[in-house]
Amino acid sequence: MNLTADFFTLFQLAPRFRLDLAELEARYLALQGEAHPDRFARADERAQRFSIQIAARINEGRQILKVPLTRAKYLLHLAGHDLEAERNVCMEPEFLAAQMEWREALEAARSGGDRQALERLGQRLKLELQGRYQTLGALLDDRRDLLSAAGCIRQLMFLEKLRSDIDDALALLEDECQGTEDTPNGLSSA
């Protein structure tokens, strides 16, 4: 195994956005079986150190390749295309308007403690993300349009942050509900 190989080469997968995640997991388990530090417990120090390094590289590769957004960013990196996420913040006016609507809906549901509204928002966002990831797959795998793919990735970064914020709001509501269920009549014992 080569520590400097890209993750697709390491896992013997074609460098594509559309991956068979079951195949990725099977290759991960096989590689971990070969490189696990326990297999090198009686080896010399150099071999032990190498097994630790390669096991860490295998874990890192799995983490990057299994998540669609990080996999897409990695493909751009391999192609030598800079995502320019920090410098290129220009977005289409329609996308920005949609972002404002999503954020306003999130804030209204969060401040109102409306779990159902948060769940509906999360479902709408899930469908939006599915469509955008399909588009991204076509841009990367079929058209090899890295410039458009980079723009799509930047938009997906906003949408994934929104998904995280919705999940956080739902978790907070769940925690608040748990706290009121722990005391009689939902009243604090203080």
User: Tell me: the pLDDT tens digits for 21-64?
Assistant: 999 999 999 999 999 888 898 899 999 999 999 999 999 999 99
Contact between residue 125 and residue 162 where contact means Cβ atoms under 8 Å apart: yes
Going from the N-terminus, what domains does the chain have, and what CATH number goes with each?
A: 7-66 (1.10.287.110), 93-186 (1.20.1280.20)
Structural element, H or E, at residue 40: none
Q: How confident is the model at residue 189 (pLDDT cuts 50, 70, 90)?
A: very low
| Environment class of 10 (CB within 10 Å of its CB; exposed 0-12, middle 13-18, buried 19+) | buried
Contact between residue 148 and residue 139 where contact means Cβ atoms under 8 Å apart: yes
Contact between residue 184 and residue 96 where contact means Cβ atoms under 8 Å apart: no
pTM of the shown model: 0.87
Closest CA to 11 of 29, 47, 39: 29
Q: How confident is the model at residue 184 (pLDDT cuts 50, 70, 90)?
A: low
- Which tokens hold the place of 5? 């190989």
Contact between residue 186 and residue 180 where contact means Cβ atoms under 8 Å apart: yes
The predicted-structure confidence for 3-13, as pLDDT tens digits, reads as follows 899 999 999 99
